[in-house]
Amino acid sequence: MIRVLFVCLGNICRSPMADAVFQDMVKKAGLSDKIEVDSAGTGSWHIGESAHRGTLGVLKRHNIPYQGRARQIARADFDEFDYILPMDSSNLADIQRLVKDSDAEIAPFLSYANAAGTVVGETDVPDPYYDQRFDYVYELVEKGCAALLAHIRQQYQI
C-alpha cells in the first residue's frame, strides 16, 4: 500500500479538501486498493471536528464526499506514510521541527504541480480560514492532486 498524508494547520480547511479530492481521483483511477489517503493538522485546536463548512460546501458542489474528522499529526505518521505533503511553507517548517528520521517523501503539496507547470506562481496553498477563498483553494488542490497522482503512478509504475 502507498500511503499519502496531507498536512495543514487546523486539518479543517485545506488538507481535508486535498484528502477528499485525492481519494476521489484515486477511486476513479481504480487505484483504491493501492493508494491510501489521510490528512492531519500540525495544530490541536480542531481535533475531532468535521471539516469547515467552506470546504464541505466546495466539495459538495463538486460531488465529492468527505466524512473525515480533524486529527493532529503524530510521530508515528512519519513511519507509516510514504508521502507527507504540507499545504504551505509554514506547515513544512512545523513538520521539519517534528520529524526525527523518516523514509517518507516530505515535499510541498504544490511542488508536483509546479514541476508539471500546471500551477505557476503559487507554491503555497493559501489559508482560506480568514479570507474564505475556498473556490480558489479548490482549483489549486485539484491541480495539485492531479500532478501528485501522475507522479505516484510514474514512481510506482501503476
Binding segment for ligand 4NP (CB under 6 A), chosen from 6-14, 101-109, 139-147, 148-156, is 6-14
From residue 22, alpha-carbon distances to 48, 102, 114 in Å are 21, 23, 17
DSSP character string of 20-78? HHHHHHHHHTT-TTTEEEEEEESSSTTTTPBPPHHHHHHHHHTT-----B--B--TTHH
Of the candidate residues 4, 5, 10, 78, the single one contacting ligand 4NP (CB under 6 A): 10
Please state whether 11 falls in left (phi above 0), alpha (psi between -120 and 50) or beta.
Answer: left
Question: Is 12 a binder of ligand 4NP (CB under 6 A)?
Answer: yes
- Which CB atom, from 5 or from 12, has the smaller least distance to ligand 4NP? 12
Residues labelled as active-site residues: 8, 14, 127
| C-alpha cell, 82 | 510514504
Beta bridge partner(s), residue 36: 3
- Which CB atom, from 89 or from 155, has the smaller least distance to ligand 4NP? 89
Q: According to CB under 6 A, which residues from 60 to 89 bind ligand 4NP?
A: none
Question: Is 40 a binder of ligand 4NP (CB under 6 A)?
Answer: no
Of the candidate residues 28, 29, 45, 155, the single one contacting ligand 4NP (CB under 6 A): 45
AA letter at 3? R
Q: How far is the CB of 9 from ligand 4NP (least distance, A)?
A: 3
Beta bridge partner(s), residue 9: none
Q: How far is the CB of 11 from ligand 4NP (least distance, A)?
A: 5
Binding segment for ligand 4NP (CB under 6 A), chosen from 4-12, 22-30, 59-67, 96-104, is 4-12
Q: According to CB under 6 A, which residues from 113 to 142 bind ligand 4NP?
A: 127, 129
| C-alpha cell, 133 | 477563498
Residue with cell 500551477: 119
Q: Which residues would be at the binding site for ligand 4NP (CB under 6 A)?
A: 8-14, 45, 127, 129
